[in-house]
Structure 1
């Protein structure tokens, strides 16, 4: 599959280290606050239970009105496409028509029709992923890897040197962009260390951003200001 050039992938591969934000819930004010804070891209969810927040996201038909509003913001959009249930081929086409650039699922939930869509794949590793799993993901043409490698008991804890070494191992093992989601309580200083390790972008979620427009703007702007100062 050959994917058209997209703003998010171009930013990842240029070394720009764009800040992406995963929305804690489907709230346009939350999305606007992320962009006002300097976020480059937004990630939303479908067909999923989000462990970090306890939020359940619905089907494409249920979430489409929000996606149409979100598309009006003009930023790169990504979607966590689901777990056991994922969008149909026609729904993936509709997401592409709305301007979504990439989709994300754990590799165990990948289905063949997803890889035939116009959305660039962004498979997620898990805490139990083996080296051969990483190699298999990296072989997918045009992919981005989400290094969701922290076990649930580590959620909301500080990033350690051991954690940074694990992220570095993932980066060194593949020749595709690697993004790191904030399963840990990442700080702006951590983002500098991740960038130095070769990570292509941080993906800031509710553990870092909170779930209000005010907390979102504050957290994202702290990251973007710190990165701009380097």
Structure 2
């Protein structure tokens, strides 16, 4: 149903590609991530980003930036929204720009999104169980985002208990699981996540900061590790 892209192969063959979630729509930030070795970029639509306090606009508002991003030639993913999500026509336009996957929390997964050409990447929440993960993993072609840390834990260190929760999810499903940096993930945490079968880290502002300099300084050690 969905093409087997280089990114999807990297997620399924143990490559452990570093994916970066942009703290804001800034081309210099995107270039810094790629220059430091990031494999793919994730951006946002129709959303308030809790970790940074940034609000991302509608497709019409963000399209000029997406056009610039598409010229960078890297795999692109989009957090498609919350209560508001793109229309079917906007999903087609995102696909035409080169986006290959979309991400929303399971509660916001509207039927027309699953009929688009973008691969679904539903996100678990802090209340999700391995049973919930298994249910979402039944969606054809999906990638799972284990967004399971409560907001009160944001920016804290990853513990053995956190690692065990991620491992439970990985073991419950047969689809790639990516772990976003709600916690202050380190390159060593990245190695531990890879060892338990996580497909990729998704590094956002908590790890990368929000300047090209902090982006470069944080991403390079992850890629090297």
Q: TM-score range by the shorter chain?
A: over 0.9
Runs of at least 4 residues off by over 3 Å: none
- State yes or no: 1:16 paired with 2:15: yes
Report what 1:111 is aligned to: 110
How many correspondences in the alignment? 225
CA apart distance, 1:145 = 0.1
Report what 2:210 is aligned to: 211
Give the alignment's Cα RMSD to 1 decimal: 0.6
How does the TM-score come out when normalised to structure 1? Answer: 0.97
Report what 1:78 is aligned to: 77
How does the TM-score come out when normalised to structure 2? Answer: 0.99
Q: Is the 8 A contact 2:45 2:80 kept in 1?
A: yes
Output the CA distance in 1 between the equivalents of 2:141 and 2:85. 20
Q: Is the 8 A contact 1:8 1:101 kept in 2?
A: no
Report what 2:190 is aligned to: 191
Report what 2:39 is aligned to: 40
Unaligned stretches of 5+ in structure 1? none
Output the CA distance in 1 between the equivalents of 2:74 and 2:208. 18
Output the CA distance in 2 between the equivalents of 1:129 and 1:165. 14
Unaligned stretches of 5+ in structure 2? none
Output the CA distance in 2 between the equivalents of 1:134 and 1:197. 16
Report what 1:166 is aligned to: 165
Q: Is the 8 A contact 2:77 2:103 kept in 1?
A: yes
Write the deviation string for residues 69-102 of structure 1: whole angstroms up to 9, x where unpaired: 0000000000000000000000000000000010
CA apart distance, 1:65 = 0.2
